[in-house]
C-alpha cells in the first residue's frame, strides 16, 4: 500500500502535534510547518499528497500561501479555520482550496474529508478517459484540460466537477448530488462550495463567464453542461 504524505500547516504546536499523531495512527506520513513561508519550503521538498492549511498564521497566512502555491502546484488543499464567516471560507475556495473544516472539529470528520479529497485526486482512469464537448477536451488519464489550444490549470475539485458535468451533457445535477459525487458524502455547511467551484470553472473555461456557453445554471435546481 502506498502511504500518502500529509502536510499540516498550523502556527499552534499543540494543534500540529494532535493532528500529526492522529493521522500517523491512520497510516499517513505526516510533515508539519508552522507558517505559510515554512510550508512553501516543506511542500517543495516533500511534495505532499494533501495539505491541511490553517488560515490565521504569522509571517505568511493561509491565503498568502494559497496565492503563492497555486501558481506552482495543484496539490489538494483543505483549509482548517477558526473563522466562521461565510466570506472567509468562500475566499479560500476561490483561491484554490478544495474543502474546509472549521475549528473545533472532530478527527473522524477530518480523516473522512482527507480520504474524500484524496479519492478525487487518485481515481482510476475510466474506460473512456477523454471527454470532448465543443472546444473543451478533458483527459482523465493525464488530468489535463484543454480549451481550444490552451491548457487550463484546474484544482483537483474543479477538474472532477468538470468531469462529472461533461460525462452527462444536458443532464441537470443538483448541488447535493454534485457534493455527493465529489466527496462520497455531504458535510454540514459546505453547500456553497459547489457554487464557488462552478464560478472558478467558468472563469477558467468560458470565454465570457458572465454569459456561459457550457456551464449553465438551472435556477432552483443546480447546474448542467450544455450539450453542444
Closest by CA to 92, choosing from 200, 186, 226, 185, is: 200
Number of domains in the chain: 2
Tens digit of pLDDT per residue, the chain (228 long)? 678 999 999 999 999 999 999 999 999 999 999 999 999 999 999 999 999 999 888 889 999 999 999 888 889 999 888 766 677 777 888 888 888 888 888 898 899 889 888 877 665 545 568 899 889 999 988 889 999 989 998 888 899 899 999 988 899 999 888 887 776 554 544 567 888 889 999 999 999 998 999 999 998 889 999 876
Q: Give me the CATH number covering residue 90.
A: 3.40.50.2300
| The C-alpha cell that represents 217 in the structure block | 445554471
Domain that holds residue 207: 130-225
**Of the residues 98, 121, 144, which one is the last residue of a structural domain?**
121
* pTM > 0.75: no
Amino acid at each position: 500500500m502506498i502511504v500518502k504524505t500529509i502536510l499540516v500547516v498550523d502556527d499552534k504546536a499543540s494543534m500540529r502535534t494532535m493532528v500529526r499523531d492522529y493521522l500517523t495512527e491512520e497510516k499517513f506520513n505526516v510533515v508539519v510547518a508552522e507558517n505559510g513561508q515554512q510550508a512553501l519550503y516543506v511542500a517543495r521538498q516533500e511534495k505532499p499528497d494533501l495539505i491541511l492549511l490553517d488560515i490565521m498564521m504569522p509571517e505568511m497566512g493561509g491565503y498568502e500561501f494559497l496565492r503563492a502555491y497555486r501558481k506552482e502546484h495543484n496539490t489538494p488543499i483543505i483549509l482548517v479555520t477558526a473563522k466562521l464567516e461565510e466570506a472567509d471560507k468562500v475566499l479560500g475556495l476561490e483561491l484554490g482550496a478544495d474543502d474546509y473544516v472549521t475549528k473545533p472539529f472532530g478527527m473522524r470528520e477530518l480523516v473522512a474529508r482527507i480520504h474524500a479529497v484524496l479519492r478525487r485526486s487518485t481515481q482510476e482512469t475510466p474506460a473512456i478517459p477523454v471527454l470532448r464537448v465543443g472546444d473543451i477536451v478533458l483527459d482523465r488519464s493525464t488530468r489535463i484540460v484543454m480549451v481550444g489550444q490552451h491548457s487550463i490549470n484546474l484544482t483537483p475539485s474543479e477538474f472532477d466537477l468538470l468531469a462529472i458535468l461533461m460525462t452527462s451533457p444536458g443532464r441537470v445535477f443538483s448541488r447535493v448530488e454534485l457534493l455527493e459525487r465529489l466527496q462520497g458524502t455531504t458535510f454540514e455547511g459546505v453547500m456553497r462550495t459547489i457554487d464557488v467551484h462552478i464560478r472558478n470553472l467558468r472563469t477558467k473555461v468560458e470565454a465570457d463567464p458572465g454569459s456561459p456557453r457550457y456551464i449553465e445554471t438551472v435556477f432552483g435546481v443546480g447546474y448542467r453542461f450544455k450539450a453542444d
